[in-house]
Amino acid sequence: MTDGPTLSEFMRHLQAILEESLEIPDRIERETRMLQIESTIQEAIIFGNRYRELVEHGIDPLRIVQSSERDGIPQHVSKIESLNVGNATCSTCGAHLDSDLDFCASCGAKI
């Protein structure tokens, strides 16, 4: 079933890229890239551990879980949707709120 690289091969690839990133001349760019790669390695380790744990308990880790929506229970409505957005104004700066955003475009306050 595996047509592509394994998780361990991906981890080795990330380790190689991490070593290559030491050669980036710009300090900020180098540190940013190293942080990105190190975070990816950590997430891959977490995924691998979780995958093994689920398999050990007889759970298929790749099975897509269907949502358990029940009739009669309203779906979650975001705060911005619950406002009368056409007339909504920011409580921080008073600017008109854009219905597509969950923050004020003028001052950046979260809605």
Question: Is 27 contained in some domain?
Answer: yes
Lowest mean pLDDT among 6-10, 33-37, 66-70, 95-99: 66-70
Question: Is 63 contained in some domain?
Answer: no
Residues sharing a CB contact under 8 Å with residue 12, sequence separation 6 or more, in sequence order: none
Q: Which domain holds residue 92?
A: 78-111
pLDDT number for residue 81: 46
Question: Is 66 contained in some domain?
Answer: no
Question: Is 39 contained in some domain?
Answer: yes
**Averaged over 68-74, what is the pLDDT?**
55
84 and 49 inside one domain: no
Q: Over the Cα atoms of the chain, what is R_g?
A: 23
Amino acid (one-letter) located at 72: G
Question: Is 15 contained in some domain?
Answer: yes
51 and 88 inside one domain: no
Closest CA to 24 of 14, 10, 34: 34
46 and 86 inside one domain: no
pTM for this one?
0.52
Question: Is 64 contained in some domain?
Answer: no
Q: How many domains does the structure of the chain reveal?
A: 2
Helices (H), the chain: 7-21, 27-56, 79-82
Which residues on neighbouring strands pair with residue 96, listed in sequence order?
89
Lowest mean pLDDT among 20-29, 38-47, 60-69, 96-105: 60-69
- Comparing 110 with 14, which gets the higher pLDDT? 14
Question: Is 73 contained in some domain?
Answer: no
